[in-house]
């Protein structure tokens, strides 16, 4: 069976190309957090505020929901209350329910609802400050910042 993290990461990279993908719910990230990526591992390294770099926050406009189903290898069927549907033997006729079937070992079903997005309103200004600090030897190329979050 494929490693679950690698399968999840590949699935998310297919949809959100160019983004740094982390395992969901394994760590809380916040706008303006700084992380060290030495050795391709994400480690907390403070915040922009702690490093005396200020920024303004703006709200984004993402889709408020996101569903990804491993290119059709995960199937979701619903049973309305008051009906009898094959495969839902454990539910009474009066109950509603959903049945999720995974057709491959490496199937993933990801569903996010009511997403809100916030970001640094002028990322170019922050990037300019980071470049200045890098050339002064006060910022490492292994450091990255969280410039946009969806939650």
Residues 65 and 80 in one domain: no
Higher local confidence (pLDDT), 37 or 81: 37
Between these two residues, 54 and 110, which has the higher pLDDT value?
Answer: 54
| Whether residue 113 is found in the same domain as residue 142 | yes
Same domain for 37 and 88?
Answer: no
- Residue 98 CA to residue 112 CA, distance in Å, equals 16
Nearby residues of 63 by Cβ (< 8 Å), 6 or more positions away = 115
19: its two tokens: 């983004």
How do residues 139-150 score in pLDDT, each as one tens digit?
Answer: 999 998 988 887
Token duo for residue 104: 């491959």
Which residue segment(s) compose the domain that 136 sits in?
A: 4-69+108-150
pTM of the full structure: 0.57
Shared domain check, 58 and 11:
yes
Q: Are residues 87 and 64 in the same domain?
A: no
When computed from its CA atoms, the radius of gyration of the chain, rounded to whole angstroms, is: 21
């Amino acid at each position: 069976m494929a490693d679950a993290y690698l399968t999840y990461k590949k699935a998310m990279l297919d949809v959100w190309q160019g983004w740094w993908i982390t395992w969901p719910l394994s760590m809380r990230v916040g706008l303006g957090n700084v992380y060290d990526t030495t050795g391709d591992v994400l480690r907390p390294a403070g915040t922009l505020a702690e490093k005396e770099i200020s920024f303004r926050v703006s709200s984004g406009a993402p889709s408020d929901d996101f569903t990804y189903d491993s290119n059709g290898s995960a199937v979701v069927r619903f049973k309305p209350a008051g009906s009898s549907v094959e495969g839902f033997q454990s539910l009474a006729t009066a109950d509603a329910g959903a049945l999720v079937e995974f057709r491959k070992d490496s199937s993933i079903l990801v569903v996010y609802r009511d997403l809100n997005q916030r970001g640094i309103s002028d990322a170019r200004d922050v990037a300019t400050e980071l470049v200045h600090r890098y050339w002064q030897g006060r910022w490492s190329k292994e450091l990255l910042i969280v410039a946009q979050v969806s939650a």
